[in-house]
Amino acid sequence: MNLLIKGKEKKLSNGDVFCAEGSAGFDDKISGISNTAKKQLRSSSDKKHDFKIISFCAVESNVGQKYQSFRDTIYGSTSIFDGVTKEVKTCYFYRNSSFYRHQLFDAAIISTLRGDQFKATLCLNPYSPKYEDLKKSVFMTPFNEAVEDPVELEKQGLAFIPNDDIDRKLNPLEEINYGCNHIIQHLCEKYNKTILVPCDFKMPEFSMLCNIE
């Protein structure tokens, strides 16, 4: 049992509220796991296969935050707030991402386990050379609507994607001042926007014990 779980059990047994802190956005640890997965897939590339797919299952505390961090790491995504329409959309490949660096990943299955409730989403990698083949394959069938495809979401006006030739590296000033951020300036021009603000939302999870009679 890890320290987080022990701490949670102690707090709850004392009648206190337990907070599992966390935020959306890129995660270095998950990026390292992706690098390991890439090596494993390459080492078995001589085996007969149709697609190369990685899988991640979020369990224990704050599975929503873990799910979001994995998604944001493979997609290099962040949330973008439109100051005019007050909408929030996902910007895919805003940062350097696992899917862009490791284009041998055809997709990722991201799942969560809460008690006996299991949910999974198939996240497609548009940089994979087998992107179109996977979309037409029977592998898609079990996921029904639980498929995330950045290209289709952008076509529907539900997401942003910077052009490939835009440098994803920000200097220190651009990191803290979105008005100087060249990626945001590019998105404003590409999508005819005036005020766009990037943000990785905090995602804490609060737990407490309740007596239900």
Strand partners, 181: none
Task: Dump pLDDT digits (tens) for 81-131.
Answer: 999 999 999 999 999 999 999 999 999 999 998 888 899 999 999 999 999
Range with the lowest mean pLDDT among 33-42, 48-57, 79-88, 137-146? Answer: 33-42
141: pLDDT strictly greater than 70: yes
pLDDT at position 99 is 96
**133, 124 Cβ separation under 8 angstroms:** no
Q: Using an 8 Å Cβ cutoff, are 158 and 92 in contact? A: no
Per-residue model confidence as pLDDT tens digits over 150-160: 999 999 999 99
Residue spans of the domains in the chain: they are 22-205
Cβ atoms 11, 61 nearer than 8 A: no
Cα angle value 69/74/79 (rounded, 5°): 55
Q: Would you call 142 helix, strand, or coil by DSSP?
A: helix
Beta carbons of 118 and 110 less than 8 angstroms apart = no
Distance, in Å, from the CA atom of 204 to the CA atom of 65, rounded to the nearest integer, reads: 8
The number of angstroms, rounded, from the C-alpha of 93 to the middle of its chain's C-alpha atoms is 10
- Rounded to whole angstroms, the Cα distance separating 21 from 203 reads 7
- The pLDDT value given to residue 33: 81
* pLDDT above 70 as % of the chain: 82
* 175-184 residue pLDDT tens: 888 889 999 9
Task: Compare 41 and 93 and report the one with higher pLDDT.
Answer: 93
Q: How confident is the model at residue 206 (pLDDT cuts 50, 70, 90)?
A: low
Distance CA 70, CA 66 (A): 6
Task: Please tell me the predicted confidence (pLDDT) of residue 45.
Answer: 74
pLDDT in tens, 161-176: 999 999 999 999 998 8
Closest CA to 70 of 81, 88, 55: 55
Beta strand pairing status for 53-58 and 78-82?
unpaired
CA-based nearest residue to 91, from 103, 81, 106, 100: 81
